[in-house]
Structures are given as structure tokens and as C-alpha cells.
Amino acid sequence: GSCPLTRCHVCLALLSFRFSPRDYGFCMSALLLFCLASLFYQWNGGAPRILIELRQYLGESTFVDDHGPYPPRVLPFPSQVVYNRVGKCGSRTVVLLLRVLAERHQFTLVSSDIHNKTRLSKHEQVGLMRNISNLPKPFLFTRHVHFLNFSRFRIEQPVYINIIRDPISRFLSNYFFRRFGDWRGEQNHLIRTPGMKDFERYLDINVCILENYPECSNPRLFYIIPYFCGQHPQCREPGVWALERAKKNVLENYLLVGILEELEDVLLLLERLLPHFFSDVLSIYKSPDYRKLGNMTGTVKKHMPTLRALQVLYQRMKYEYDFYYFIRDQFHLMKKKIGLKSTAPSAPQPSFLLNLPPATQDADLEEELEEDEDLEDAHNWLVQP
């Protein structure tokens, strides 16, 4: 064996051979930086931002080098759809369909349970619009709410869709639904209108109309237009201003507004225009299983008012009818552009209501009008789903 002193000399010689002063300086500098970084970490309660960013950059660049960029998620266009459904215009039928479609096509469906708050304060509007915009895309949001102008608050505007129906038909459906519910259960109406007195619940609709009860007079009859006019207070006042603003919003913000009287055509157009959301909707709608569900939403105990009451209603709802005929014309124009032949002929404007004798006619003549069987067909323009 060699002496320990000789071995030490050999080790020192090897160390001096491996590390030059430059390398030694580099190591000491790295150690100093490490110590400073450690102190900085302790003082600030975490890693310096530059180290976090460097770590993220190195991690991302490693993934990109090895695998290429993350594959982008391909979203359908449009990927944000709002259905601000109008009450008693077939919306429950459509929502039942949407639940099936959302599961089948994997899109986010949010159907709000709020049915009695269609008008919102500015704060509520912004809050709701932000919540809608933050939903996972693609999404379809639906609620009974008057038109919301997202772009006014610098939020990305979604695509709107909707369905309306003949105004008198909608009014009658709502009148009896509030009182007697539908086939889903006889007690539903009691839960929905617990404060309604018996004399109100069983009030003859002709009395309501002809004696100007609030429920059968303006402004309550001015119902459909505000859904398209918007949240402005003047949108709730029957008149030309609200009517024209509603038409303008339809042309600028709605992909489609259908009419319930031609629901199958509406579903077919939605399938063409929004395939990611509505593919197969017509086959689902026509399936026996769905028909069983859909039949439960029909209003019970509904009957037709007298022709005189219908005439009064029609005159009170002149703005609603102006809007309805505008929507019907736009819908037919869309069908023509798509090349869709209508499966249901449109009913003509019920001009017979305007030509009836004034309300001061003799009682005998009134009975004659009510009993005239030839006028039964004139009621066919009212849909009774």
C-alpha cells in the first residue's frame, strides 16, 4: 500500500484536473443564484413569476416538440343559441325534444325553471347574460324572458330562435291552462294559481272579454311582441313603437322564428339550420314514445268563445296580429329559400271577424250566428293543441 499522504495528493491532482477556475466560477454563480431564488421564494410565499413562466414555457415547448400543438376543439357554428320561449306557444313540446337531443348530440342544455320573470333590471340583465355566455359551448339556453341585447353590454351576441302562434289561440290556451292545467294532472293548476278565487277560476270567457275584465283586456293581451321587442319599458305598451322594434330585432338577431301551426316545418328548418343541435328532431317528434309524452301537455276544458267575443279580441290584439302575420310571411320566405314545400297550408287572415255586425245587434241575430253550422269551419284557423 501507498501512504495516505500520497493518496491525498492524487485526489487533489484529479480535482484540479477536472475543474478549471472558469468551471469553478460557474458552479459558484449557480449556487449563489439558487440561494437568492430560495430566499426570494421564502420572502414572497411562493416561486418567482419568472420561474413559473419559464417552467410553463419549457413544459409546453417539450410537449410541442414531442407531439405537436394541442388539437383545437372544433365547435359548431353557431355554438351559442338562446330560445327565449314565448308562453303557451309549444315551448314545453320543444323542451321535451331538446332534452332528448342534448343527450344524443352532447351539447349543453340549460332550461330555466323561472317562468314568471320576463322583465329584468339592468343589473339582472347583465348577470343573466354573463351566466349564459359562460356556459360550456356548444350550448342552448332557454327561458321565458323578453329579448336581451347582449351587444349593448359588450357581450358576444348569441343566435336567437323562437316559436309563436296565432295570438287568439295562444290567449285561449293560456286562459284555460291557468284555470284547469293539462292532462299531466288535475291539481297542477291549483299549484300554479293558488290565489285564484273560485269565481275567477270558473269565470265564463265571454263575460271576461265582453265585460272588459283585466285578464281579457290590454295591456295583458299585448303578450307576444314584448318577447321580441326587449326590456325597454315602452316594449310593454301596445303601439307601433314596440311593434316595429320587435320586427327589427327579429330581422337582426333571430336565425328563425317559426309558427306553431306549422310545427313540423319549424322542426325541419331547425334541423337544416342548426344540425349540431337538432339533427333527427323530426324523427324523434314522430316517434310513438315521444307522442305519449307530448299528449300530456294539452290544455284541458278549453272551449271556443262566441264569434262576438272573438271579434272584440281580434280588434284589441291588432298589433299582435300585425306581428304574427309578419312572422308568418318571414317563415314562409325562409321555407321558400331552403326549398321546403309546406306540409301544412296556412290559414288565411280571419277577416270574417272584422266584418261581423257591431256589438249592438239584436239578441236573436246573435243566437243565429252562434247556431249557424256554416261558421264552424271559420274556427279552424285557431289551433287547439
**Positions marked catalytic:** 144
DSSP code for 347 = P
Enumerate long-range contacts of 235-243, CB under 8 Å, 24 or more apart: 235/146, 236/119, 238/319, 239/319, 240/319, 242/319, 243/319, 243/322, 243/323
Q: Name beta bridge partners: 164.
A: 259
39, 142, 174 from 112: Cα distances, Å? 53, 6, 20
The position carrying cell 333527427 is: 280
Extract the C-alpha cell encoding 26: 460557474
Extract the C-alpha cell encoding 52: 413559473
Residues 329, 254: Cα–Cα separation, whole Å: 15
Alpha helix (H) residue ranges in 47-166: 49-67, 91-105, 122-133
Please give the single-letter amino acid code of residue 5.
Answer: L
Extract the C-alpha cell encoding 224: 307576444
Residues 132, 134: Cα–Cα separation, whole Å: 5
Residues 97, 121 contacting (CB under 8 angstroms): no
